[in-house]
């Protein structure tokens, strides 16, 4: 199986060597190794353990040693040495789309640049155009690249941040001796994107912990290194990670403080002041008559911090200063928001019949393992050529297969489809096919021109269609990759209400579509919501957690989500939809 991490490290070798002027053969060797690691079906770590890496194409003695070192120790000393030799300004410039290592080095050398900002200034002052191989056009291109870099990389999608967080936490435990390490901030609050990562820790030797934070594999720059806080930039994207170490008895206060949100904590502190208390990351304290800090009343756990301020413990995903401080005041019964175990089925998934990687049987098995009562197989329709869309003949064969597989399972397997909403709003299956399906998800895939009236009309027509149950990933956005379509949402909600149709919260972590405000609005209007995963593999059913957390952030209760129904209730709901 591919090893993207090692592939990236080999690519980094190639890049650094290019900057340092190593010979082209050496650079090519790293590039070839990187390609191999990116695509190999073999288990690289296992091969390394058996000393068999040299059997892989493009992996020679030198590179094999480095891979083994990484597998055994989590680092490659030679790479760390190489990084130290390269001017960080060059690496910073290389983040600009279209700027390779050679050009970046030339610009830094010729103009004495220290940062992207310096290069921006140089372009504005037309100091780049006289350089060899450059011109007025190059200045324009660089400025455009800088602008696009700032737009796309200011916030990282939650799932990417969680992957970094998992590595960071593991490293802080193993190498830093952390007894507690939890990612806080917007990540703990399940915000859909994260600007930077804030990790809170407790460790018997704080200096060792801080050192471990500064020397994590993947760190490209240390921007602050103190006794209680270390900030580093991580990976090629230079994602910022702040690590704090606090005393054990301040753990709860630190968790609360660094989880935020800022707005939530500001109101919490106002409440404290009224009670003659003060709160910081070390605890809740009494305020003495002379205004100085007095006795500490709480801090070891988050529960006691909230308790001291007159609240029940508030789940992190709700800490946004909406209604949580009212709802979770001591003595109140907070609303019972949806939880993962409320979900009883998934009505949007794909199999090898279109672009999934598992069979109907494997997906059914995965659904049954999760104790689901039903699952809809919703492969793509004929126009979705890019995703292996089915034709009439093949969908009939799929129905036969579903009938056979059903015999082996108690989970109810529904015949479904994710049918494309075509440019004119028509559906991509004939009605006589649609009417034989148990569940129809209608989605826009080919976006075409992004015109508000045009987009809205496509969704309105689909919502009018008698056989449609649900609009899939309604805005079509992909986090960090593609903005949502421009749509008149109130018109969509009106139509959904009028026709009794449902809207999806697609839990695929790169979609999370509908977003939180739209979800809250649609649910408040009484529009039925489905939380589906759009799974293309069995394990992807677990992405439902992203959807459930987003739904909780929108304060959804289980009864507002259709796939919390038992199969019996769901059957009734489906029947009612067909009138």
Minimum distance of Zn ion from residue 418's CB (angstroms): 5
Nearer of residues 200 and 561 to Ca ion, judged by Cβ: 200
DSSP string, 332-362: -----B--GGG--EE--B--TTTT-SS-HHH
Separation of alpha carbons 192 and 351, rounded Å? 27
Could you list the residues that contact ligand DGT (CB under 6 A)? Answer: 185-186, 191, 194-196, 198, 257-258, 260-262, 265
Residues near 12 by Cβ (< 8 Å), separated by ≥ 6? 79, 236
Residue of minimal CB distance from Zn ion? 443
Q: Looking at beta carbons only, is 180 or 195 nearer to ligand DGT?
A: 195
| Region 401-430 residues binding Zn ion, contact defined as CB under 5 A | none
Residue number, 67 or 168, with CB nearest to ligand DGT: 168
**Beta partners for 298?**
284
Closest distance of CB 338 from Ca ion, Å: 26
The CA distances from residue 460 to 226, 450, 453, 516, in Å, are 57, 16, 10, 21
Q: Which does 260 bind (CB under 5 to 8 A by kind): Zn ion, Ca ion, ligand DGT, none?
A: ligand DGT
What is the number of the residue whose Cβ is closest to Ca ion?
185
**Range 429-458, binding Zn ion (CB under 5 A):** 443
Using the contact rule CB under 5 A, the part of the chain among 96-104, 114-122, 127-135, 198-206 near Ca ion is 198-206
Residue 383 makes contact with Zn ion by CB under 5 A: no
Q: Which of residues 456-515 bind Ca ion (CB under 5 A)?
A: none
As a whole number of angstroms, the distance between CA 90 and CA 133 comes to 18
Dihedrals phi, psi of 437, to nearest 5 degrees: -95, 150
Residue 32 or 155 with smaller CB distance to ligand DGT: 155
Q: Which two tokens stand for residue 434?
A: 């649609």
Q: Which is nearer to Ca ion, 79 or 253 (CB)?
A: 253
| Closer residue to Zn ion, CB minimum distance, 231 or 378 | 378
* Closest CB to ligand DGT among residues 263, 339: 263
Distance CA 376, CA 571 (A): 12
Indicate which of Zn ion, ligand DGT, Ca ion, none lies near residue 261 (CB less than 5 to 8 Å, by partner kind).
Answer: ligand DGT
Residue 186, CA distances (Å) to 196, 245, 316, 352, 420 in order: 8, 18, 9, 36, 35
Cβ within 8 Å of residue 490, ≥6 positions away: none
CB 258 within 8 A of CB 281: yes
CB of 198 vs ligand DGT, minimal distance in Å: 5
At residue 28, the 3 state secondary structure works out as helix
Interacting partner of 443 out of Ca ion, Zn ion, ligand DGT, none (Cβ under 5 to 8 A depending on kind): Zn ion
Contacts of 446 by beta carbon, 8 Å cutoff, 6+ apart = 383, 420, 423
Q: Least distance in Å: CB of 348 to Zn ion?
A: 8
* Residues engaged in binding Zn ion (CB under 5 A): 443
* Residues engaged in binding Ca ion (CB under 5 A): 185, 196, 198, 242
């Amino acid at each position: 199986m591919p090893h993207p991490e090692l592939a990236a490290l080999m690519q980094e070798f190639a890049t650094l060597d290019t900057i340092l002027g190593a010979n082209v053969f050496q650079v090519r060797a790293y590039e070839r190794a990187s390609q191999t690691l990116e695509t190999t079906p073999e288990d690289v770590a296992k091969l390394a353990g058996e000393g068999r890496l040299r059997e892989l194409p493009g992996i020679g003695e030198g590179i094999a040693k480095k891979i083994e070192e990484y597998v055994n120790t989590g680092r490659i000393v030679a790479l760390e040495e190489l990084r130290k030799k390269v001017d960080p300004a060059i690496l910073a410039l290389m983040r600009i789309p279209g700027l390779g290592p050679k050009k970046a080095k030339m610009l830094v050398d010729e103009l004495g640049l220290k940062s992207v900002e310096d290069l921006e200034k140089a372009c504005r002052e037309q100091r780049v155009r006289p350089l060899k191989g450059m011109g007025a056009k190059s200045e324009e291109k660089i400025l455009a690249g800088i602008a696009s870099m700032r737009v796309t990389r200011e916030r990282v999608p939650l799932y990417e941040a969680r992957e970094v967080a998992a590595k960071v936490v593991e490293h802080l435990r193993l190498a830093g001796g952390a007894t507690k390490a939890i990612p806080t901030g917007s990540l703990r609050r399940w915000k859909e994107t994260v600007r930077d990562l804030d990790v809170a820790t407790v460790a018997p030797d704080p200096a060792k912990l801080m050192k471990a934070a500064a020397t994590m594999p993947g760190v490209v720059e240390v921007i602050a290194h103190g006794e209680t806080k270390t900030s580093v930039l991580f990976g090629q994207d230079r994602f910022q990670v702040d690590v704090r170490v606090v005393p054990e008895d301040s753990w709860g206060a630190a968790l609360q403080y660094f989880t935020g949100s800022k707005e939530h904590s500001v109101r919490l502190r106002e409440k404290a002041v009224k009670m003659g208390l003060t709160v910081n990351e070390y605890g809740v304290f009494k305020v003495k008559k002379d205004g100085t800090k007095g006795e500490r009343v709480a801090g070891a756990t988050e529960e006691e911090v909230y308790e001291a301020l007159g609240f029940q413990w508030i789940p992190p995903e709700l800490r946004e200063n909406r209604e949580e401080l009212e709802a979770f005041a001591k003595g109140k019964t907070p609303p019972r928001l949806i939880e993962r175990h409320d979900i009883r089925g998934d009505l949007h998934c794909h199999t090898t019949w279109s672009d999934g990687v598992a069979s109907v049987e494997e997906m059914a098995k995965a659904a049954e393992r999760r104790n689901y009562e039903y699952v809809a197989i919703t492969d793509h329709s004929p126009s979705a050529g890019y995703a292996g869309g089915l034709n009439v003949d093949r969908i009939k064969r799929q129905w036969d297969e579903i009938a056979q597989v059903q015999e082996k399972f108690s989970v109810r397997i529904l015949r479904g489809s994710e049918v494309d909403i075509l440019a004119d709003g028509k559906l991509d299956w004939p009605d006589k096919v649609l009417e034989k399906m148990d569940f129809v998800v209608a989605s826009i895939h080919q976006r075409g021109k992004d015109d508000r009236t045009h987009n809205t009309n496509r969704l309105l027509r689909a919502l009018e269609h008698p056989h449609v149950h649900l609009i899939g990933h309604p805005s079509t956005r992909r986090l960090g990759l593609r903005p949502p379509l421009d749509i008149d949402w109130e018109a969509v909600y009106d139509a959904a209400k009028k026709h009794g149709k449902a809207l999806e919260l697609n839990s695929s972590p790169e979609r999370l579509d509908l977003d939180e405000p739209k979800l809250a609005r649609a649910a408040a209007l009484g529009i039925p919501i489905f939380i589906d995963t759009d799974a293309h593999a069995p394990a992807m059913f677990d992405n439902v957690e992203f959807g459930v957390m987003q739904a909780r952030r929108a304060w959804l209760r289980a009864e507002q989500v259709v796939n919390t129904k038992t199969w019996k209730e769901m059957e009734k709901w489906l029947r009612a939809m067909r009138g």
